[in-house]
Structure 1
């Protein structure tokens, strides 16, 4: 048996990952520990609320969620669910989590039998469970004892088989394939919880990568007048599909005011990474003139996506940079005039009106996204330079602040994977999972 332990910032995302597998028919909830009801009487809200309650008692611990996978040899595919629960209960007891609430899912989406355990490291009294070296010490001891007691294939005998916890990142949402609210929530948990942003347009530049969009509605709408916010699914051409969902209906409540409260701290966090982005652009354009299409390709190799905003006529009027390496998003004008849409048009070869140079985002009509910004946002906002056609609204880009992370990058970093299953690599300092 091979045990893999990961910690993360979001219990919602770990929970959603496993529940989505259940919805897809490739996983099943087989048991729960320290829950008030039997699993056949647990609805989604109850499953999650039991895990969330202790977390509210300790907000200082950022990596408060735990995701464990117990992997068995392919020859052990006949292990029954009740037997797997016995193994899970014994493992949780041996690593010191016997009193923690946890959910156990049996997955059928890999070539070997395995289960996932979803739990938290905050106790009922708000104290944090110390997980330093838990994989090397408690987990290894528990693993060896369980292998012997349950007559399982030893981890040492499975060296040729590679195990890995699948990254928990949101998938691009396709309308009709997954329940809309659940799919949008998964994207919101990932983006809002990990990236830094300072305006609604900047947030949308990331959400649209997943076919999700936040919108306020028209200025005469009830939602707009009441400072409401809606989230909805969009298609590849960024046309809205399906029914929009109110921000207040999501359990994380990513409302307009909530987002606005994130802007100042996000802006502060991303400032150290601004120069990296400017240097990457300057270096690509040094001593030569290339097209915006070529510039986008060069930057993309460094993990930087160039999101172009064009009018219905194909005229470029705005640029947003998404830096996946530093997890930051910058509106072009925030970096300086030389990095805005107008500045790039002067520094690059003429753009193709046909849209050839639009690498990151499809062409779409401008949309008004006047979210709540910082007080000084109006003075330094990037406004559409080209006058929009009739019926098209200007985009008011607010003060840019941080955001982003690799689209498919896992939210959790592996705290422990047995060394015999790791590829040889240079030693480096390991992060403290309890921070």
Structure 2
């Protein structure tokens, strides 16, 4: 069993999220605890009002709502609602929330059975339950105790054989699922798992699942007000469908919140880049990769997705590495020159055009002129026309040649300074 605790300042948003799942037949309401009367008989408004009145007892506490998910192994799909509710009640008691009002929802929108619990840390006397390191202090010991008591699959065993997320999470596909729901599924899997330090790095991960975050065009109203929207991409990386504002998602992945993640990840997120470097260095040492496709496939087997950025001509000018094992996302240039786009092309002779090296523009022009001259010479045995073409090419070379102009030096530095006259002694 894996327990995930999220603290929030909006009980309304948490309740709406779970109730919407119920209305969409993607979740089932299993009741609640410590409510006046039967929680199952209370309406949504009554439940929300009860939580709200409890929170009004302590207005100094802003982050007063908890959204907890209990996730079970895929082999435990046989757990019925009664058993899952029993596990949830035991968990809340061990967590120190046994006397708090809480609601239970069983969701069916994932490949594994899981529960969602909604509660508050404000007690009946107005005091608050300390949430500092709640996961380490209370949740982890409770999880281990319940795994043994109920005979559940241990989280440690699940992590050891866990597959990479890109094999479980399917890329968003426009038209198959509601746009907002498809993007939400991708955001839930990506935002908290990966360590990105910019919107560009986040988009490198989202792009794997056909989603992109956009700030709007330069100078637009959305860009001026630091807005953010998400879109689904087609197989060619082009946006399709209507964009969805960040504020409309349950997790509210707005630019302001993401910037906080960017800052934290800059401090803690770049310590696991050695896995990427070691994989690339081993590929170079073994010399098994003859081209770009070979490198991509080899890194993919190591759990690393190589995201390329290409210009309009199809040539690679930037690389981003997404390590699914460690959650690290970084640009090639941040790892060092050998791992940048240019460095990788030099190490593996990578290019977008079947391993050929791109020629400088002036060499391409010379070859084109030579080819034209050769074609004309075949039609003109005397060679008069081809000679003219070659003369034109020579003139163009002279006109385009860079001449070294004499360096200009300001008069301020070339003119001689006047000598100052010495004054005689004062009389």
Does the TM-score normalized on the shorter chain lie above 0.5?
Answer: yes
Give distance in 1, aligned partners of 2:256 and 2:114: 36
Question: 1:186-240: per-residue Cα shift (whole Å, max 9, x none)?
Answer: 3323322232111111110011122211012221422123332211122222221
Question: 1:118-152: per-residue Cα shift (whole Å, max 9, x none)?
Answer: 226974323357245435546766x5xxxxxxxxx
Q: Does 1:126 align with 2:126?
A: no
Which position in structure 2 is the counterpart of 1:230? 229
The question of whether the paired residues in 2 share the 8 Å contact of 1:31 and 1:85 is answered with no
16, 41, 44: which is aligned to 1:42?
Answer: 44
The question of whether the paired residues in 2 share the 8 Å contact of 1:68 and 1:116 is answered with yes
List aligned pairs for 1:239-278, cutoff 5 A.
Answer: 239-278=238-277
List aligned pairs for 1:108-147, cutoff 5 A.
Answer: 116-119=114-117, 123-124=121-122, 125-128=128-131, 130-135=138-143, 137=145
Which position in structure 1 is the counterpart of 2:366? none
List aligned pairs for 1:307-326, cutoff 5 A.
Answer: 307-326=307-326
Question: 1:8-57: per-residue Cα shift (whole Å, max 9, x none)?
Answer: 25479x999987975775653342334686478338x959x88xx89x95
After superposition, the Cα gap between the structure-2 partners of 1:350 and 1:189, relative to the gap in structure 1 and judged at 3 Å, is closer
Which position in structure 2 is the counterpart of 1:363? none
The question of whether the paired residues in 1 share the 8 Å contact of 2:85 and 2:104 is answered with no
After superposition, the Cα gap between the structure-2 partners of 1:139 and 1:190, relative to the gap in structure 1 and judged at 3 Å, is closer
SS at match of 1:271: coil
SS at match of 1:203: helix
The question of whether the paired residues in 2 share the 8 Å contact of 1:205 and 1:320 is answered with yes
List aligned pairs for 1:32-431, cutoff 5 A.
Answer: 32-34=32-34, 38=40, 41-42=43-44, 65-67=68-70, 91=90, 97-100=97-100, 101-105=102-106, 116-119=114-117, 123-124=121-122, 125-128=128-131, 130-135=138-143, 137=145, 171-286=170-285, 288=287, 290-353=290-353
Which position in structure 2 is the counterpart of 1:159? none
Give distance in 1, aligned partners of 2:109 and 2:244: 32
**Going by fraction, where is helix more abundant, 1 or 2?**
2
Which position in structure 2 is the counterpart of 1:404? none
TM-score normalised by the chain length of structure 2 = 0.59
SS at match of 2:206: helix
Give distance in 1, aligned partners of 2:270 and 2:107: 44
After superposition, the Cα gap between the structure-2 partners of 1:15 and 1:241, relative to the gap in structure 1 and judged at 3 Å, is farther
Give distance in 1, aligned partners of 2:62 and 2:215: 33
Task: Give 1:109 shift.
Answer: 9.1
The question of whether the paired residues in 1 share the 8 Å contact of 2:91 and 2:142 is answered with no
TM-score normalised by the chain length of structure 1 = 0.58
User: What 5-or-longer segments of structure 2 have no aligned partner?
Assistant: 9-13, 123-127, 153-157, 356-427
RMSD of Structure 2 on Structure 1 (CA): 4.8
User: What 5-or-longer segments of structure 1 have no aligned partner?
Assistant: 144-154, 157-162, 356-435
Task: Give 1:115 shift.
Answer: 7.2
The question of whether the paired residues in 1 share the 8 Å contact of 2:228 and 2:254 is answered with yes
Structure scoring higher RCO (CA < 8 A, sep ≥ 6) equals 1
Which position in structure 2 is the counterpart of 1:377? none
Give distance in 2, aligned partners of 1:184 and 1:245: 9
Task: Give 1:342 shift.
Answer: 1.6
After superposition, the Cα gap between the structure-2 partners of 1:227 and 1:66, relative to the gap in structure 1 and judged at 3 Å, is closer
Which position in structure 2 is the counterpart of 1:160? none
Give distance in 2, aligned partners of 1:209 and 1:245: 19
Give distance in 2, aligned partners of 1:291 and 1:115: 43
After superposition, the Cα gap between the structure-2 partners of 1:318 and 1:140, relative to the gap in structure 1 and judged at 3 Å, is closer
Give distance in 1, aligned partners of 2:306 and 2:232: 22
Which position in structure 1 is the counterpart of 2:412? none
What is the aligned residue count? 319
After superposition, the Cα gap between the structure-2 partners of 1:25 and 1:11, relative to the gap in structure 1 and judged at 3 Å, is farther
Give distance in 1, aligned partners of 2:90 and 2:286: 61
Question: 1:92-123: per-residue Cα shift (whole Å, max 9, x none)?
Answer: 6875654341313275999xxx9743226974
SS at match of 2:247: helix
